[in-house]
Structure formats: structure tokens, C-alpha cells
């Protein structure tokens, strides 16, 4: 997951990755809050901050593809605190649908940050939708994420196949070619001298 890594077209839509398909789009009324956990205090603000959690909140659009969840902030009114948030579906550690007693339903995402992506371990995002129900979106996100994780595991299994072994040349007793024993029904027709 990374802040401001999504490539955007002139109309502020994400440019798809190779072989990426957009599954669902929410064009209006998406409220995203990103909470970056406590950073240890350091000597200067540029080298890591002065400590404490950082919360960033923006309104914008949400795109769910078969590979990523992408939020694009609305820049029509003012300059946003962040332009975009791109989360590979395999980097979603968990998602939780929250139904508070008072207030609207929302989705909480625990995310594994990308190296040099501007975020830290323990980063959490909350998604609220003002004009659409979020339950249907949450279930579509979960199904799409499960498929992405499954496909990544399948790809890893295919790459991890066993190597092909060959017999070293000149190894006694392991010469290639037909053996002098013939097999019928799994029982050798010739038995070694010790068994006769």
C-alpha cells in the first residue's frame, strides 16, 4: 500500500495496470480516513516526525479492480492532503464491516504497507460512503481479495515446482535402459537368487 503511487489520467481516474480490470467504481461520496500509527520521536520532522499517530482524511472516488483498491482524492475544491491511496488486494491484512449504534456503517481495513510507500506497519484505513450502502461494496471487496490471494498462491505453487533430477553418468547400477527383469502385475518374474 502506498500514498500517491497510483498513476492518474487527466480526469483523475487511475490508469490500469497490465491485465487489470475495474470491477466496481464509487464516483461520489466516499470518505477515507488513513491512520498511520505512532512513529518514534526523532531529531527532526523530515527524518520521521515528532512521534504520535497521524490521521489524514479526504473525500473522493473509490475503484475496486481485480488487483487493487484505489482511492483518488477530490482535488476540485482544494489541494488534498494526499492525492491517492493504492492498496494491492494481497496487502489487505483484514477487513471489518462496522455497524455502530449511532452513525453510519463503515469498513475498516488493516493494511501491509509497501516499502518506501510513505506508510508504516499498523496503518489502518476507514471507508465511509455517504450516498451508497457500503455492505455490498464490502462483500464484493472480500470476494475479490480472496480470489487475488488464491491466484497469488497458485502462481507461487507453479513457480515452486520440484526440479527435474537426472542420473549422473557413470554411476554403477544406475545405467539407463531396460532392465533384465520383466514385471507382470507388479510382481517381478525373476527373483534374485536369495529368494529362489
Tell whether 166 is covered by a domain: no
Tell whether 47 is covered by a domain: no
146-191 tens-digit pLDDT: 999 999 888 887 777 666 667 776 666 555 555 555 545 555 555 5
pLDDT at position 64 over 90: yes
Count the Cβ atoms, other than its own, within 10 Å of residue 150: 10
Q: How many separate domains does the chain show? A: 1
Per-residue model confidence (pLDDT) at position 40: 54
Of 7, 57, 2, the residue nearest 31 (C-alpha): 57
72-91 tens-digit pLDDT: 999 887 888 889 999 999 99
Tell whether 83 is covered by a domain: yes
Domain that holds residue 10: 2-39+52-160
Could you give the dihedral angle defined by the CA atoms of residues 164, 170, 171 and 177, in that order, rounded to the nearest 10 degrees? 70
pTM of the model: 0.71
Tell whether 180 is covered by a domain: no
CATH number at residue 80: 2.30.29.30
d(CA 41, CA 32): 26
Amino acid at each position: 500500500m502506498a500514498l500517491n503511487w497510483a498513476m492518474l489520467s487527466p480526469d483523475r481516474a487511475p490508469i490500469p495496470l497490465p491485465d487489470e480490470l475495474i470491477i466496481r467504481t464509487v464516483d461520489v461520496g466516499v470518505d477515507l480516513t488513513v491512520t498511520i500509527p505512532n512513529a518514534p520521536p526523532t531529531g527532526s520532522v523530515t527524518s520521521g516526525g515528532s512521534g504520535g499517530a497521524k490521521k489524514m482524511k479526504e473525500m473522493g472516488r473509490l475503484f475496486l479492480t481485480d488487483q487493487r483498491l484505489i482511492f483518488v482524492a477530490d482535488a476540485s475544491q482544494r489541494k488534498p492532503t494526499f492525492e491517492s491511496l493504492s492498496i494491492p488486494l494481497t496487502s489487505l491484512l483484514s477487513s471489518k464491516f462496522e455497524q455502530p449504534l449511532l452513525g453510519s456503517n463503515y469498513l475498516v481495513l488493516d493494511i501491509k504497507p509497501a516499502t518506501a510507500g510513505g506508510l508504516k506497519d499498523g496503518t489502518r484505513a476507514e471507508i465511509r460512503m455517504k450516498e451508497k450502502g457500503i455492505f455490498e461494496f464490502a462483500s464484493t471487496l472480500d470476494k475479490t481479495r480472496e480470489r487475488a490471494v488464491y491466484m497469488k498462491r497458485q502462481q507461487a505453487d507453479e513457480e515452486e515446482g520440484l526440479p527435474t533430477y537426472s542420473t549422473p553418468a557413470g554411476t554403477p547400477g544406475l545405467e539407463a535402459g531396460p532392465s533384465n527383469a520383466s514385471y507382470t502385475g507388479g510382481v517381478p518374474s525373476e527373483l534374485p537368487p536369495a529368494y529362489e
